[in-house]
Chains A and B, each alone.
Chain A
Amino acid sequence: MTGKENPSPMTVPAAAPPVHSDTAAKWFILSSIAYFFIVGIIAVTIAAKFVWPELLGTIPAFSYGRLRPLHVNGMLFGWLLAADMGLVYYIVPRLCGVRLWSEKLGVATAVLWNVIILGAVVSLLAGWNQGWEYAELPMPLDVLVVVAWIMFGANIFATIASRKYAQMYVTLWYIMGTILWTAFVYLTGNFAVLFTTGVNQANLNWMYVHNAVGLIFTPVGLALAYYFIPKAGEVPLHSHKLSMIGFWSLAFVYVWTGAHHMIHGPISQWLQTIAIVFSVMLLIPVWTVVYNFIATMKGQWPQMRDNVPLKFLMSGVVFYLLTCFQGPMHSLRSVNAIVSKTDWIPGHAHMAVLGAFSFFAIAGVYYVIPRMFRRGLSSEPMATWSYWLMMVGGLGFFVTLWLGGFWQGWQWNNPSIPFIDTVVALKPVWTVRFFSGVLIFLGIVLFAYNIMATAVGASEKRTGAAAAV
């Protein structure tokens, strides 16, 4: 060690001339954080309903069956995808060495996105639910999503087309892949299903559900990790070649696996087997990517002590490794017979979407907000607290559901145990899950407050400076 102290990644080098206005990024990120908080309340509410089934039980709009899709869609599209899009608006111009092609188009996209999310809240509470998982939103909103995605994609591709550096960093590949694949995956899950019924429709639905995670949130999440791990740690990426293997194997393998949601179900056995084989092959892209991140951190681990973005990033990497080890294992027929349809699955899904991809996005937000608003983060200790609350709450959530779900699966496989007994047995598990959820929510509150305080403080400072002139 040279004795030089690394400055915290959340303080900003003063007086760098503003090159990027980042208006679109700010709109997307701040609104996504508002939804993170609001939908967090819904998340805690539905966890509470498992413990107290009568809670809000006589109000149709607040029944479990209507709040659950709002929780899922709100977190996926209101928080995570919007935060990812905001961070993409920040990253792409910087990696290309040019300004965003059109800030105005970006802001218009953000406004449209907010219209979609507010429309989703109204329609889901009213019970206007199409009945497909992750594709619950009614048709007019689906059309608006497509329009917004085209606006987003056009802006990003036009920026990349005008780039100053010929070589595209791996983050840009993942972002372009996300934009292209999402288009097809979304059209399949929301429009192609209309022309089918029964098992054929379920197959398209699972192709969409699986790839919403695998070809939307995974590539854009990895794009963030590939950008922010080297940035927050101030260390070069370990291997360009490995990142290439990881990317192209993901591009080829992921889409084949949708039918693993129907293992043992009423769908052709040969299709189940294909899905299983490709699910296991997913270990290739996952392990190459994770090895690349871990090797990048070689000699840099002491930074984890007080670098909050790195804490979130590297914990996210570990959760990504774990969740993508579980996935292929679940697809094996023998394991699937125990864990499928149990509470294990929400434990797995939350580790992917919260533990891995939301952690990447949170790290990115903590990193970019001080840079966009040109002001140090409102409170660094609060940021550390948000990490530990989400980490402890998250682990409590994942681990209890795995244990509970595994136990539940064994009970189901013994048909001499009446079904209701397997419900009653899970009650302690759901109680622990509720309190873990409260911890996660407190972490979200601290995160949201910290970011908003930084943003508002920045605008106060600007107004103050303007008033002084």
Chain B
Amino acid sequence: MFGKTDVSAPLFVVAALVCFLIGGLMTTVVPPLVDASWSRPFKNDDPSKGPTGVLRPYTEIELKGRAIYVREGCWYCHTQQTRTILADTVRSGWRGVNAPISTPDEFVYDSPHLFGTKRTGPDLSHVGGKYDVQWHRTHFRNPRDLVPGSVMPPFPWIANNEPEFQALVAYIQTLGRAKDWRPDHDYEQ
């Protein structure tokens, strides 16, 4: 079949598309059909099966904050996934408690997805509730005031714009909170 493709353009086109579409369909259309967890929001009431909790949809202000996170390209430097690597669960943890690994059912309301590819700054998949509003305000104004050595850019136009700042912080506080994994619930404030 392939022997004739270099003299017949139509035959070539068919062969090239068939080769491509086999893998293309197998890796894009089939997986979500096989794995229901990709589209079922997280919900667990049974502590013996791991952390309990429920994934709720974003509120209006959280979605607004999420749009700011996208607009400013935060996702170029911060991933949102605690991988199946021990060090990831420790680094995403809090006060000696390791974070649970990220699972597909925690992200079904995310569009665009913000898993990220590069960690110039720390992973944010479980950052929700760790730092209060005042910390974030100072940090966005100039990250180096709180974290000497940081290379994060300053974001004064967000820190000084109260509605945008409140929205962005509201979004950040949601991260990783579908699963109730922390010992003291200080993130409520």
A interface residues, Cβ below 8 angstroms from B: 49-50, 53-54, 57-58, 60, 63-66, 68-69, 127-133, 157, 160-161, 166-168, 170, 173, 176-177, 180-181, 184, 188, 192-193, 196-205, 207, 215, 244, 248, 251-256, 258-259, 261-262, 264-268, 271, 274-275, 278, 337, 340-342, 345-346, 412-415, 419-421, 423-424, 427, 430
Main secondary structure of the interface of A (DSSP, over half): helix
A161 to B8, CA, bound (A): 9
Q: Which residues of B contact A215 (CB under 8 A)?
A: 20
B2 close to A248 (CB less than 8 A): yes
Using A63-B72, A132-B112, A337-B85 as known contacts, list a sample of 11 further A-B pairs with CB atoms less than 8 Å apart, ordered by residue number in A.
A53-B151, A130-B112, A181-B16, A198-B107, A198-B110, A215-B20, A244-B2, A253-B23, A256-B23, A258-B27, A345-B117
Return the 3 tightest CB-CB contacts between A and B, nearest first: A65-B73, A131-B112, A198-B107
| Given A69-B73, A177-B16, A271-B27, A161-B9 contact (CB < 8 Å) | yes
B5 and A173 form a contact (CB under 8 A)? yes
**What does the 1/0 interface line of B108-130 toward A look like (CB < 8 Å)?**
11111111111111100000000
Near A by CB (< 8 A), chain B positions 31-56 give: 31-32, 34-35, 38-39
| B13 pairs with A264, CB closer than 8 A | no
B102 and A265 contact, CB distance less than 8 A: yes
Selected from B6, B16, B120, the residue in CB contact (under 8 A) with A244 is B6
B33: min CB distance to chain A, Å:
10
Minimal beta-carbon separation of A404 from chain B (angstroms):
12
* Cβ of B74 under 8 Å from chain A: yes
The 0/1 profile, CB within 8 Å of A marked 1, for residues 1-34 of chain B is 0100111010011011101111110111001101
Of the residues B91, B113, B153, contact of A415 by C-beta under 8 Å: B91
Contact A423-B110, Cβ < 8 Å, known A176-B13, A252-B19, A413-B87: no
Quick one: which of B74, B83, B86, B119 contacts A65, CB cutoff 8 A?
B74
**Given A131-B75, A207-B27, A261 and B91 touching (CB < 8 A)?**
no
Instruction: Verify A199–B149 contact, CB threshold 8 A.
Output: no
A63-B72, A166-B7 known; A264 vs B17 contact (CB < 8 Å): no
The answer to whether B70 has its CB under 8 Å from any CB of chain A is yes
- Identify which of A50, A65, A196 gathers the most chain B CB atoms within 10 Å of its CB: A65
For the complex, is B76 an interface residue (Cβ under 8 Å from A)? Answer: yes
Residues of A within 8 A of B71 (CB): 65, 127-129
**Cβ contact within 8 Å between A259 and B12:** no
B157 in the interface (beta carbon within 8 A): yes
CA distance A318 to B47 in the complex (A): 54
Are B2 and A264 touching (Cβ within 8 A)?
no
The answer to the question of B79 belonging to the interface, with a C-beta cut-off of 8 Å to chain A, is: yes
Could you tell me the distance between the alpha carbons of A141 and B81 in the complex, rounded to whole angstroms? 30
* Least distance between B173 CB and chain A CB atoms (Å): 20
Task: Sample 6 A-B pairs with CB under 8 A, ordered by A number.
Answer: A53-B151, A63-B153, A180-B16, A200-B32, A254-B23, A341-B79
B76 touches A68 (CB 8 A): yes
A264 x B23 contact (CB < 8 A): no
Q: Write out the residue numbers on chain A whose beta carbons fall within 8 Å of the beta carbon of B106.
A: 266
- Check B152 for interface membership: any CB of A closer than 8 A: yes
8 A Cβ contacts from B153-177 to A: 153-157
Residues of A close to B154: CB separation below 8 A: 53-54, 57-58
Known A53-B151, A264-B83; judge A66-B91 contact (CB<8 A): no
B22 contacts across to A, CB distance below 8 A? 252
Are A50 and B151 in contact, CB atoms less than 8 angstroms apart? yes
Q: A278–B2 contact, CB under 8 A?
A: no
Give the chain A neighbours of B108 by CB distance below 8 A. 197-199
| Cβ contact within 8 Å between A167 and B76 | no
Contact A173 B12 (CB under 8 A): yes
Q: A60-B157, A68-B76 are contacts. A264–B84 as well, Cβ < 8 Å?
A: yes
Q: CB-CB < 8 A to B107: which residues of A?
A: 197-199, 202, 266
Given contacts A53-B144, A173-B5, contact A197 B113 (CB under 8 A): yes
Chain B residues, Cβ within 8 Å of A266: 81, 101-104, 106-107, 115
Contact of A265 among B5, B81, B87 (CB under 8 A): B81
Distance of A197 Cα from B121 Cα, bound (Å)? 25
> Do A66 and B87 touch (CB < 8 A)?
no
| B83 & A256 in contact (Cβ 8 Å cutoff) | no
- Please tell me if the beta carbons of A415 and B149 are within 8 angstroms of each other in the complex: no
Name which residue of chain B comes closest to A124, CB basis. B73
Q: How far is the CA of A198 from the CA of B38 in the complex (A)?
A: 7
Across the two chains, which residue of chain A brings its CB closest to B148? Answer: A420
Complex-state Cα separation, A469 to B34, whole angstroms: 74
Quick one: which of B19, B76, B104, B117 contacts A267, CB cutoff 8 A?
B104
Least distance between A447 CB and chain B CB atoms (Å): 28
A423 to B77: give the CA distance in the assembly, Å.
12
Bound-state Cα–Cα, A192 to B24, Å: 13
CA distance A266 to B5 in the complex (A): 41
Give, as a whole number of angstroms, the nearest-CB distance from A389 to chain B.
Answer: 27
Residues of B within 8 Å of A268, CB to CB, are 31, 34-35, 38, 104
Q: In the bound complex, what is the Cα–Cα distance between A180 and B152 (angstroms)? A: 41
Shortest C-beta distance, A81 to chain B (Å), equals: 19
Using Cβ atoms and an 8 Å threshold, which residues of chain B touch A412?
A: 87, 91, 119
- Quote the shortest CB–CB distance from B149 to chain A (angstroms): 4
Q: In whole angstroms, how far apart are the Cα atoms of A85 and B149 in the complex?
A: 44
| Interface flag for B61 (CB, 8 Å) | no
The closest CB in chain B to the CB of A265 belongs to B81
Q: Quick one: which of B90, B113, B149 contacts A201, CB cutoff 8 A? A: B113
CA distance A268 to B43 in the complex (A): 18
Q: Looking across the interface, which residue of chain B has its beta carbon closest to that of A180?
A: B16
Contacts A58-B154, A252-B23 given; indicate if A168 touches B7 (C-beta within 8 A).
yes
